[in-house]
Structure 1
Amino acid sequence: MTHETATSPGGATRALETTRALANALWFPVLFAVGFMFCYLLPFHSPAPHDLPVAVQGEEAAAAVSVALEEAAPGGFDVVPTEDPDEAVLDRDAVAAYDPAAHTLHVAGSLGAALEQTAVKTFTPIAAQDGAELEVADDAPAASGDGMGMSLFYMVLTWTLTGYIVVMMLSAHAPHLRRRTKLLTVAGFGAFTSVFCYTVAAVVDVIPHDPAVIAIAFLLTQAVSWTCLGLAPFVTKWLPGVAMTVFVLLSMPSSGGAIPLPMVPEFFQALHPLMPMGRALDAIRAVLYFDGAGLWGSVAVLGGWLVLGALLLAAATLRERSRRAPGAHAGDRGGPAKAEAAEDTGAGKDAEPSLIGRVTDTAGRPVAGAVVSVVDHSGRHVAALESGADGAYSGLGLPGERLTLLASAPGHSPRVARVTLDHGGLVHLDFALYPDDAAVRAPESGVSEGFLPVSGRRVALGRRVREPGDGAG
C-alpha cells in the first residue's frame, strides 16, 4: 500500500490545521507581549518604595524619623536604629543610614543610582528641618566606569539569558546529542561567557577586579542551563515559554537590578530570595563591595537551582529507561543518544507505530550519518533518526498521526515527505538525496512545491522488510 505524500484536505480540515499552526506559531510571542506588560510595564511605570530599609543613628532620632516618613510615605520605609550608620550600610542591614548629629546620609552607590537618589530625596527635608544641608557619604561606591551602577545587572542578565538560550539552540539544532554531551557543551559555553563578560567589564572598568566573580557567573549559567535541560523532557515544546517566564519575566523584576528591589511590588520582592538572577547579583555585589556580607546565602540558592536541574535530569533518565526496558526493539538503531533525544522532545511514549527505511544518494549509494527529522502535525519536533553505515534508519514510539519527515545530510540537498502512521503498521520510507550542486526539481509528483519524491510502502508489523542491498531490518 503506497503511503501518501500530500493531500488536499477539505475546508474544515484545512481550517483546523491552519488554526493549529497559528496557535503553535503565536503562543510564544503572545506570552512575550502579555508577560512584558504585566511583569515590566505595571511594576516599573511608577516605582515607589515599599518597606525600604533605612537606619538612623540613635533610638529617639530613629523613632522621630520613622513617624515623619510614615506620614510622608505610608508603608514606604522601614526605619531601624543603629549605633554605626557606616556599618549598617556595609553589613547590608539598610540601603541608607542617617546620622542626625552630622546631618550625613550614608549610601551605597554600587546598589544603583535610583536607590541613592531616592534616599537623598527622602532625607534632604529631614536635614533641612534642623536648618542644615544634607551631606552624602558613599560607603560602597560603584566602579569608576559604572556611572549609573547598572553594569553589573547587565552582566548578570547576559549570563542568565545565555544560560537558557544555549539549551534552546541545542534542542533545535542538535537534538540527537547525548545528555552528557549537552552538559559538557553548556559547561564549556558557560565557562566562556563567564570569562568573556568578566574580562570585558574589567577592561572598561565597570566592576572592580576580582576573579571570584567568574566562579559565581559560571554557577549561575549552569544553574539555569541544567534546570532547562532537566525541564525539557517534561515540558517538551513549551520549554521556551517556561524558561522565558521563570528566568526573564519573573527574574528580572525581582532581581533588584533594573529597579531597586524595595521599589517594586511586594510580589516581586517575595520572589527575590528564590530567583537565581537576583541572588547572583547579590552574591557578586557581596564580593565586590560589601566584604562578603550575605554571600553564602546567595550561593546556596544558586546551588539549589543546580541541584534541581540535576534531579530533573536524573528523573528524565530513569523515566526513559523504564519505558524502554520492557519493550526494547532490536531494530531501533538509535541507541542511547536517540532515546535521549526522543525523550527530550516528548517522543517515544508508545512502542508503535514504527518507521524504517534507507537514505541513499541518487546513484543508490548509502548515505551514512544522514538525519531524518520527524515533526508532528502541530510543528513539534518529536525525533531525530540517524542513518547508519548502510544508510538504514529506524524509529520507534512515533505518534500515530500525520508526520512531516525531513532527510538531510552534509553535501546533499534535503528532502521532505509526509506520511501518516497508524498503530499496528510498519512504514518503510526511503529517501534519495541529490548533491547540493544538482539543483534538481522533480516534475509533478503529488507533493507541495519544493518537495522531492521518495519511495515508500506500508507493510504489516512482524514482517522483515529488506530491499536488495537494503540494511534496514
Structure 2
Amino acid sequence: MATTTNQTTTDDAGGPPKPEPGRYRRWYSTLHPSLQLIGLQLWLPLFFIVGFCLCYIAAFHAPHPHDVPVAVVGSSSAAADLQTGLDDARPGVILVRAYGSADEAEEAVLAGRVAVAYDPADTTIYTASAHQYQVAALIPATITPVLEAQGVTPTVTDLAPLPANDEYGTVSMYLMLSWCIGGYMVAMFIGLMGAPLRHRTRMTVIGVGGGVISLVTNVLAGPVIGAVDGHFVPLFLIAWAWIIAIGLAVNGISYFVGRFVALPAMIVFVFLSMPSSGAAYPAWFMPQPFAWLNAVVVGSGITEMLKRVLYGVGPGYGRGVTMMLCYATLGIVLMIVGKRWWENRRIARIVSGRTTMFADAQNANREFLVAERDEVLSRHGLVATDTGTINTIPEDERGDLGDDGERGDMFLGAPGGLENDELSTRPVRVVPSDRAGSAHPARDSGAAR
C-alpha cells in the first residue's frame, strides 16, 4: 500500500517512476539487515588477499638482480674487460659503467646511481649499505669471483655503514609504510563518511590528521623505540607533508568511487608502492612492472628522502619533493572536478528515485535496530519517546506487556519504588544450640523469643 501511494505521488508530481529493483536485489533485501551489510563489505577482505598475493608475493618471492649498474674507475677498456668476465659468469646481471675518477665513482655510489664502484688502482670495491643493504651484500659477492679469476683479490669498503639501531636498513621502509597507510586512511574515512563536507573542512581534517600521525610515528620511532637517532624536526615535517599529499590524492579519488575508495587507495599507496619503493629491494632486483613503477610511486620518494635525512645517501630531496607536489596537485584537481561530478550524480539519483544496495541495507538495519530497541525496552516496562528520552510505562498499561505489576522491573524495581516493596518473608524456626554454654547468652535468648 505504501509503495502504491509513493508511486502515485511521484507520478502526480510529474517525476519519473521509481525504478523496479532486479531479481537479485529483491532477494538480497529479504536477508537479515545486518547480514546484508556484512555481505556488502566482504569484497574488502577478498580484495586485500588478492592484492597481497599479486603484489607482495609476486614481487618478493624470487628477487633476481638484472642490469645492476656498477662503476669502474679508469678507462672504458678496463670496464669492458670486467663486463666481459661478468657476462660469461652471470649474463644480464651486471651493467658496467666507466668513471673518470674515484671521487666521481664514490659519489655515484652514495647517490644510488650505481650499486657499487670498483677501483682497479687499489683493488677496492666501494659500497653504501645505508642506501641499499642487500646490494652492498650481494653485488660484491657477485663480482669478486670474476676479479679473482683475473688475478685480483679485492677488498670492500663501506662508504656509508648502517648504525647499530638499524642494522639491516629496514627503518626507512617501515616508516614509509606507516606514513602511506596513515595518509590514505585519514582521507579514506573522509570519503566514506564526509561526502557532503566542504573542501575547506576536508583539507583541515587531512592537515590536522597528518600532523597527529606524523607526531605519533616519529615519537614512537625515535624517543620510544630508539630506531631513529635525532632528526626529529625534519622527519616530522617530511612525514606531515607526505601524509597531506597522499591524503589530498585519496580525497580527490573518493568523489569518484565513493565507499570503494579503499580499493584504489590501497592499490596505489600500499600494494604497488611498497614493493616498488626500493626500500626492501632496489628496482634492479624487482620484476616488472615493479621496477618501472619505482620512478612514480610515493614509496620511492619517501624512502629516498628518509635515507637522505638519516644517513646522507640517496639522490637528494629534489625527486621526492617533485613527486610530493605532483600527487598533491593531482589530488586538488580531482577534488575540484570530483565535487561537481558527485553533486550532479547525487541529484540525478535523487530525481530518478534510485538507491544503492548499501543505502537500502543501512536503512533496513536502522529500522531493525530501532524496533529491537523498543521491544527490549517494552519487556522491562520502558518506552522510548520521540524526543529520545526513556520513560517508565504506567502500571495500569502493562497488562498487554505481560507485566503482572508485582514483579516490577529488573532495572527500576517495583513500579512504586523500593520503599513500597513488601518483603515476602516468613518466620524462621530457630533451633537451640546443643553446646553446653553460649558465648552470647543475651543474643541466644533474644533469638529464642
Paired amino acid for 1:347:
R
Counterpart code for 2:67: D
Structure 1 equivalent of residue 363 of structure 2 = 404
User: CA contact under 8 A between 2:116 and 2:139: conserved in structure 1?
Assistant: yes
Structure 2 residue aligned with 1:14, among 27, 35, 39? 27
Q: Does 1:107 align with 2:127?
A: yes
One-letter amino acid of the counterpart of residue 227, structure 2:
V
Residues 25 and 357, structure 2, Cα contact 8 Å, conserved in 1: no
Residue equivalent to 2:214 = 194
Q: Distance in 1 between matches of 2:220 and 2:24?
A: 57
Q: Which residue of 1 aligns with 2:335?
A: 313
User: Which residue number in structure 2 is paired with residue 42 of structure 1?
Assistant: 58
Aligned with 1:258: secondary structure? coil
Partners of 1:257 and 1:281 within 8 A in 2: yes
Match of 2:182 in 1: 162
Equivalent of 2:370, from 377, 393, 415? 415
| Sequence identity percentage | 27
Aligned-partner Cα distance in 2 for 1:294–1:183: 28
Is the Cα contact below 8 Å between 1:146 and 1:205 reproduced in 2? no
Structure 1 distance, partners of 2:325, 2:247, is 13
Q: CA deviation at 1:3?
A: 5.9
Task: Return the offset for 1:199.
Answer: 3.2
Report 1:90-169 matches (<5 A).
90-130=110-150, 133-169=153-189
* 1:37-91 Cα distance to aligned partner (Å, 9 max, x none): 2211122111111211211122233212212222232222221112223222123
* Equivalent-residue separation in structure 2 for 1:86 and 1:438 (angstroms): 83
Partner in structure 1 of residue 287 of structure 2 = 265
Deviations 1:296-349 (A, max 9, x none): 12210111000000111111234467x4xxxxxxxxxxxxxxxxxxxxxx6333
Q: Distance in 2 between matches of 1:12 and 1:287?
A: 55
Alignment partner of 1:348 is 2:327: no
Q: Secondary structure at the match of 1:55?
A: strand
Summarize deviations over 1:176-217 as a string: whole Å, max 9, x none. 543322211111121122233223333345345333232222
Report the Cα distance in structure 2 between the residues aligned to 1:244 and 1:416, rounded to whole angstroms.
38
Deviations 1:385-408 (A, max 9, x none): xxxxxxxxxxxxxxxx88726769
Task: Specify the alignment match of 1:27 in structure 2.
Answer: 43
Q: TM-score scaled to structure 2, two decimals?
A: 0.69
- Counterparts of 1:56-71 in structure 2, within 5 Å, are 56-59=72-75, 60-71=77-88
Q: Name stretches of at least 5 consecutive residues in structure 2 with no aligned partner.
A: 5-21, 373-384, 394-399, 402-449
Q: What per-residue deviation string (whole Å, max 9, x for no partner) do you get for residues 86-141 of structure 1?
A: 22212332121112332322111112322221122212313433555442211122
Cα separation, partners in 2 of 1:195 and 1:438, compared to 1, 3 Å: farther
Q: Is the 8 A contact 1:227 1:310 kept in 2?
A: yes
> CA contact under 8 A between 2:72 and 2:117: conserved in structure 1?
yes
Change over 3 Å in CA distance of 1:179–1:436 after alignment to 2: farther
- The 1:81–1:299 alpha-carbon spacing in structure 2 relative to 1, beyond 3 Å, is same
Q: Aligned partner of 1:307: which letter?
A: T
Deviation, 1:143, is: 3.2
Question: SS of the counterpart of 2:157?
Answer: strand
Change (3 A) 1:38 1:138: same
Match of 1:227 in 2: 249
Deviates more, 1:81-90 or 1:252-261: 81-90
**1:150-177 Cα shifts (integer Å, max 9, x gaps):** 1111001000001111222334455554
CA separation of 1:438 and 1:243: change in aligned 2, threshold 3 A: farther
* Alignment equivalent of 1:212, drawn from 226, 229, 234: 234
Separation in 2, partners of 1:76, 1:234: 43
- Tell me, in whole angstroms, the C-alpha distance in 1 between the residues paired with 2:188 and 2:83: 49
Across the two proteins, how many residue pairs are aligned to each other? 357
Residues 406 and 416 of structure 1 are in contact (CA less than 8 Å); yes or no, is this contact kept in structure 2? no
Distance 1:256 1:434 in 2: 56
Q: Which residue of 1 aligns with 2:323?
A: 301
Question: AA paired with 1:258?
Answer: A
SS of residue matched to 2:117:
strand
Instruction: Tell me if structure 1 keeps the 8 A contact 2:192–2:261.
Output: no
Q: Distance in 1 between matches of 2:213 and 2:362?
A: 38
TM value normalised by structure 1: 0.66
CA–CA distance in 1 between the matches of 2:229 and 2:364?
53
Partner Cα separation in structure 1 for residue 391 and residue 279 of structure 2:
52
CA contact (8 A) 2:125 2:140 kept: yes
Aligned to 2:386: 432
Q: Indicate how the Cα distance of structure 1 residues 101 and 23 shifts in structure 2: closer, same or farther if over 3 A, else same.
A: farther
Out of 61, 73, 91, the position equivalent to 1:74 is: 91
Sort the Cα spacing of 1:438 and 1:229 in 2 relative to 1 into closer, same or farther, 3 A: farther
Distance 1:36 1:305, change over 3 A: same
Q: Secondary structure at the match of 2:212?
A: helix
Say if 2:128 and 2:158, in contact at 8 Å, map to a contact too: yes
2:392, 2:200 → 1: CA distance?
A: 38
| Root mean square deviation, CA, Å | 3.6
Cα displacement (A) at 1:235 = 1.2
1:185 and 2:205 are equivalent in the alignment: yes
Distance 2:390 2:265 in 1: 37
1:385 matched residue in structure 2: none
SS at match of 2:57: helix
Larger displacement relative to structure 2 (198-207 or 306-315): 198-207
Q: Alignment partner of 2:126: what SS?
A: strand
Q: Cα offset for 1:267? A: 1.3
- The AA in structure 2 aligned to 1:432 is D
Distance 1:292 1:46 in 2: 25
Q: Structure 1: which 5+ runs fail to align?
A: 324-345, 355-374, 382-400, 418-430, 444-473
Deviation at 1:250, TM superposition (A): 1.0
**Structure with greater strand percent:** 1
Matched AA of 1:248:
V
- Aligned amino acid, residue 253 of structure 2: L
Separation of aligned partners in 2, 1:351 and 1:175:
15
Between Structure 1 and Structure 2, whose CA radius of gyration is higher? 2
